[in-house]
Amino acid sequence: VYLDDFVLILVEDNLQNSQIIKKYAFSQKNVRVSNLDNKNKDSLLRVAIFSSKVGWINLGEKSLKQLLILEPNNCDALRGLLLILQAKNDSTANIYLARFEAHCR
C-alpha cells in the first residue's frame, strides 16, 4: 500500500481494509516509483532489494543498472544484476561476472 526508501505498509486483505486496498494497492503493472533520487546509491539498492523480494525483476534490473552508472564496481549491484541476467539466460551476464570477479573477490 505504501513504499518509500525505508517503509512498506501492508494491510490484511479483509473486508475492513477493502476500501484502503482498492484505493492504494499497487502491483508490478501499476507501480510508480516517484521521488526516487536516481543519484542516491542507497535508495537504488533498497528499491532493487525490495524488487527482488517481491519478484519484480525488471524494476530490480533497472535500479541495479542505474546504481552501476553511479558506481561501476559496486559489488552488491554487480552480484544482483549478475543473478538476474543469469536467471534470464542473458549472455551479457558474462560481462558482469567478469567485473564481479575482478573487483569483488
In angstroms, rounded to a whole number, what is the distance separating the alpha carbons of residues 72 and 49?
18
Give the pLDDT of residue 1.
46
Domains and CATH numbers, the chain: 2-103 (1.25.40)
Give the pLDDT of residue 21.
85
Cell of 36: 526516487
**pTM as predicted:** 0.77
- pLDDT string in tens for the chain (105-residue length): 455 666 667 789 999 999 988 887 777 776 666 667 789 999 899 889 988 888 889 989 999 999 999 999 999 999 999 999 999 999 999 999 999 999 998
In angstroms, rounded to a whole number, what is the distance separating the alpha carbons of residues 104 and 51?
23
In angstroms, rounded to a whole number, what is the distance separating the alpha carbons of residues 20 and 13?
10
Task: Specify the amino acid at residue 56.
Answer: W
